[in-house]
Amino acid sequence: MSVPSFAGGPAVLFCPADRPDRYERAAASADVVVLDLEDGVGADDKDVARRSLRANPLDPGRTVVRVNAPGSPHHGVDLDALADTAYTTVMLPKADGRFVGPLLRHDGVPYAVVALCETAAGVLAAPALAARSDVVALAWGAEDLFASLGGSSSRGADGAYRDVARHARSTVLLAGRAAGKPVLDAVHLDLGDADGLRAEAQDAAACGFAGTLCVHPDQVPVVRAAFAPSDVEVEQARALLEAAARTSAGVLRHDGRMIDAPLLAHARAVLARAGKEES
């Protein structure tokens, strides 16, 4: 059976599923909401979270549910709770090579899965996860990754990711894009560091990530602005593509630069992020 694709804008916001008072605000602010049954909910509040999720439906086309990981005593109960909803996409935390079968609804239809590669095993399994037909997107996470490594901090004193985190980020991005799947960048946990979030989101957009995971509504406009090309970038991309359309040469000179097919693809990506049609 077919699995729906992952669609949405660049700002993907986590919302604890045991806080239904936050659902509507999250849905109104973000491009995609992730109702969280895992880390965002304490062990004693899991049942409340599941009841809240069933009783307060959001648009299933813009909502993902993060279930607890396979092997957790909460995993099967989460899926049972989801069977009573219209949600069709789940985020699978700590996804790795042990994820051997599709996650099925009670009617046998597979859930679309956003595979969260956030352990050493998960990062190494990213190519295999990306190749699965039921996996519609990948994401990565630094903090659980470092916990799986026995590490103590994913960032250095300057706030930048350590080399192993950057390697994991690149590995998941390459695996996802090689399979034609969108990839989401990790959360930025320093809520007061809008400049750091902006810089990371701008880098994510330039590298080809589809969006950035957010943990607070105030991060949403920062991420959206970071993913949106400037008017200057849009006009430069449009002018480049128009110049290319006027020649049949494989290579052209434009504004002092040598332009070939990869740079034309870059320009099309800028227009796509801006929501503009190619001229």
Which residue ranges form the domains of the chain, and what is each CATH number?
Answer: 11-227 (3.20.20.60), 231-274 (no CATH)
pLDDT digits (tens, 9 = 90+) for 201-255: 999 999 999 999 999 999 999 999 999 987 778 777 787 777 777 877 777 777 7
**3-state class of 178 per DSSP?**
helix
Under 8 Å between Cβ of 234 and 274: yes
Using the predicted structure, report yes or no on whether residue 131 has a pLDDT greater than 80.
Answer: yes
Q: How many CB atoms lie within 10 A of CB 77?
A: 16
Using the predicted structure, report yes or no on whether residue 2 has a pLDDT greater than 60.
Answer: no
Using the predicted structure, report yes or no on whether residue 4 has a pLDDT greater than 70.
Answer: no
pLDDT at 5: 62
Q: Phi then psi for 234, rounded to 5 degrees?
A: -65, -45
How far apart CA 160 and CA 189 sit, in angstroms, is 12
What confidence category does residue 106 fall into, taking pLDDT thresholds of 50, 70 and 90?
A: confident
Using the predicted structure, report yes or no on whether residue 279 has a pLDDT greater than 50.
Answer: no
For residue 118, say whether it is annotated as part of any ligand binding site: yes
Under 8 Å between Cβ of 185 and 204: yes
What confidence category does residue 168 fall into, taking pLDDT thresholds of 50, 70 and 90?
A: very high
pLDDT at 260: 76
pLDDT at 262: 78
Of 138, 71, 79, which is closest to residue 105 (Cα–Cα)? 79
How far apart CA 107 and CA 110 sit, in angstroms, is 9
For residue 235, say whether it is annotated as part of any ligand binding site: no
